[in-house]
């Protein structure tokens, strides 16, 4: 299918002025009703494509530039449609990179979004198999990004999923949250790089829905009291996971995962370690299949081992 790609230039200074002015109206609140995002210098357009189901406001304006201006000064707007024949402008509360499978064909209408031109072109080709989606909002914490992914039935991408996307020539992303909690990823057409966490800057999340067979456990971002079972489960749920069972920790051990830290898991009032050497001197209930040591004497506060179904 043939399509045309357009760049709608809006100077960086003008874009920044619109955003900063609107943010100041909310005083201490961040842009977009608490949804932080990166400033964009251009809207990248593609002909005969729409993102249905995400529009919230229609108006009549003389050009896509004016439509883009309306999007810039509306804190709900992330992309827009424009029909030159009808001079119809529709503001969208989402982007094609967040909902790549929703981008569909419709004659005479242009989709304009903040995506890199190569990504708009890739999405418009209709071959979206295995593509990550990039959250529209930027987050300060891994848990917040994971929660946003879960809203669309996805999870933060695994290493293997990012490698797959790179192999499919997915264009470069900013520093983004992914499955691991202790680093950020940059996805490029030639590979994936991983970076230390920034001190203050928010990042978008890379969400994936590709099936997987196994994934290493992760620990919760926060400590929980031994009796706070709801908090422990919620901490794992924020990452699209659940507290690990002993059987899942044994599976992780068999797949090469090791952690000598004693953390809570699915069984109440106990903690476990997935270390080399197995159970050591522990026997009976304090050893699971000669591999996973666990004890009824947990610390008052600890993180939780989280596993994925």
pLDDT of residue 182: 81
| Per-residue model confidence as pLDDT tens digits over 131-155 | 788 898 899 999 999 999 988 778 8
Please, is 128 exposed, middle or buried when counting C-beta atoms within 10 Å of its C-beta (0-12, 13-18, 19+)? middle
Could you give the domains of the chain?
5-124 (3.50.4.10), 133-208 (3.10.100.10), 218-307 (3.10.100.10)
pLDDT of residue 51: 92
Q: Which residue has the tokens 């989280």?
A: 306
Confidence of residue 269 (pLDDT cuts 50, 70, 90): very high
Asked whether the whole model's pTM tops 0.85, one would answer no
| Per-residue model confidence as pLDDT tens digits over 204-255 | 999 987 555 677 899 998 999 999 999 999 999 888 788 999 988 998 998 8
174: nearest Cα among 38, 30, 270: 38
Strand duo 259-264 + 271-274: pairing: antiparallel
103: nearest Cα among 88, 119, 116, 87: 119
pLDDT of residue 92: 95
Confidence of residue 25 (pLDDT cuts 50, 70, 90): very low
4: nearest Cα among 171, 121, 112, 118: 121
| Enclosing H/E stretch for 32 | helix 31-34
- CA 92/CA 239 separation, integer angstroms: 27
């Amino acid at each position: 299918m043939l399509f045309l790609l357009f760049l709608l230039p809006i100077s960086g200074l003008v874009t920044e002025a619109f955003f900063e002015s609107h943010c100041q109206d909310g005083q201490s609140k961040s842009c977009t009703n608490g949804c932080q995002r990166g400033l964009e210098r251009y809207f990248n357009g593609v002909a005969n494509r729409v993102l249905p189901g995400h529009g919230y406001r229609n108006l009549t304006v003389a050009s896509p530039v004016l439509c883009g201006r309306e999007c810039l000064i509306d804190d709900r707007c992330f992309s827009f449609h424009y029909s030159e024949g009808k001079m119809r402008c529709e503001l969208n509360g989402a982007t094609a990179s967040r909902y790549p499978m929703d981008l569909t064909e419709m004659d005479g209408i242009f989709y304009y979004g903040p995506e890199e031109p190569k990504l708009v072109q890739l999405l418009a080709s209709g071959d979206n198999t295995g593509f990550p989606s990039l959250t529209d909002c930027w987050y300060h914490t891994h848990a917040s990004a994971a929660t946003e992914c879960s809203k669309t039935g996805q999870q933060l991408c695994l290493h293997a999923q990012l490698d797959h996307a790179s192999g499919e020539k997915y264009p470069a992303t900013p520093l983004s949250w992914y499955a691991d909690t202790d680093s950020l990823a940059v996805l490029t057409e030639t590979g994936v790089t991983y970076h230390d966490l920034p001190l203050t800057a928010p990042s978008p999340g890379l969400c994936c829905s590709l099936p997987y067979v196994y994934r290493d456990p992760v620990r919760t971002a926060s400590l929980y009291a031994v009796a706070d079972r709801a908090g422990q489960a919620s901490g794992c749920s924020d990452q699209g996971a659940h507290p690990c069972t002993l059987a899942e920790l044994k599976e992780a051990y068999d797949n090469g995962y090791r952690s000598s830290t004693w953390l809570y898991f699915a069984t109440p009032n106990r903690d476990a370690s997935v270390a080399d050497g197995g159970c050591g001197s522990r026997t009976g209930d304090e050893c699971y299949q000669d591999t996973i040591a666990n004890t009824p004497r947990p610390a008052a506060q600890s993180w939780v081992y989280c596993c994925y179904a």
